[in-house]
Amino acid sequence: MTSPASGAGRTGGTGPGGHADATYLLDSAGPAAPPRDNGELVFAAPWESRAFGVALALHDSGRIDWEDFRQSLIGEIAAWEAAHPSGEGWNYYECWLRSLERVVSGKGLINARDLRARQAELASRPAGHDHGEAGDHGHEHH
């Protein structure tokens, strides 16, 4: 197995404006590689793609260093694997989110108390709270 810190499985490239695109940033193999199906990123729930987008946006805006985030993610995955040797209940994006929380907290972008308060607020909302009938909330459903 190749060391995660070596960058194996990563590809190079830049997107519009010279910014690194997701192809460059994301590992294609190894512990930090996101779930894919036929080469395409896979998200099982809307919150996963949102957490993914937040991390990319924070990197693109210069608020977080991608390698710091990547190493934190590898650490979160290793900790999860150590605590769950059977692999039951695995969710890559739960590790992604914990890593993102750790990095933004560590950078002082949000304090832990505010983060916990916001998590509690969002968790208390009923499922589908922001989606009534199509057309009444700013976008249509297809």
| Burial readout 1-37 (b: 16 or more C-beta within 10 A, e: otherwise) | eeebeeeeebeeeeeeeeebeeeebbbeebbbebeee
* 3-state SS assignment for residue 37: strand
Contact 140, 134 (CB under 8 A): yes
Residue pLDDT tens, the chain, 142 long: 333 333 333 334 444 444 445 556 888 888 889 999 998 999 999 999 999 999 999 999 999 999 999 999 999 999 999 999 898 999 999 999 999 999 999 999 988 788 778 777 877 877 766 655 444 555 554 5
- pTM (whole model) above 0.85: no
φ, ψ dihedrals at 85, nearest 5°: -60, -25
Provide the residue ranges of all domains of the chain, joining segments of one domain with +.
9-123
Side-chain-side CA neighbours of 1 within 13 Å: the count stands at 6
